[in-house]
């Protein structure tokens, strides 16, 4: 798993800090983007992505609708794309749209490694309530 590269697309600064710090501690590489607008200019860095965490509620973007755009890029075909949101009911929309999983924010550093290991092992992950 040390070679895994995670793409995080979300505008939530606090959750991004928790995620990137934890990914770094896990020995995983990551690219963090604050908006899907940043994706085209970042594609050259994203040839070996293992999983994508995509915010569903990014300002001026609907993550559910953006999934189709994301899957048009060959490097994102066949890898887990997981929706993330503070709204647990969005998990049903994400599943219907074709996401491979769903995580409720806020991320908690103590459980984030467990969630990432599930994602990277292609184990279904559909949080509908925050884990205690």
Query: What integer pLDDT is reported at residue 2 of this predicted model?
Result: 45
Domain spanning 5-126, CATH architecture: 3-Layer(aba) Sandwich (3.40)
Which of the four pLDDT bands, split at 50, 70 and 90, describes residue 130? low
Domain boundaries, the chain: 5-126
Instruction: Say whether pLDDT at 1 is over 50.
Output: no
Of 30, 31, 27, nearest to 2 (Cα)?
27
Q: What are phi and psi of 18, to 5 degrees?
A: -60, -45
Q: Say how far apart CA 37 and CA 33 lie, in whole Å.
A: 9
């Amino acid at each position: 798993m040390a070679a895994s590269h995670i793409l995080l697309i979300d505008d939530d600064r606090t959750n991004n800090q928790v995620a990137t710090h934890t990914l770094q501690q896990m020995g995983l590489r990551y690219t963090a983007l604050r908006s899907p607008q940043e994706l085209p200019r970042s594609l050259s860095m994203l040839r070996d992505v293992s999983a994508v965490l995509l915010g569903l509620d990014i300002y001026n973007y609907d993550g559910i609708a953006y999934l189709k755009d994301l899957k048009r890029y060959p490097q994102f075909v066949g890898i887990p794309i997981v929706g993330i949101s503070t709204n647990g009911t969005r998990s049903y929309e994400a599943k219907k749209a074709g996401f491979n999983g769903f995580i409720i924010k806020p991320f908690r550093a103590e459980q984030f490694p467990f969630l990432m290991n599930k994602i990277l092992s292609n184990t279904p992950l559909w949080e509908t309530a925050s884990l205690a």
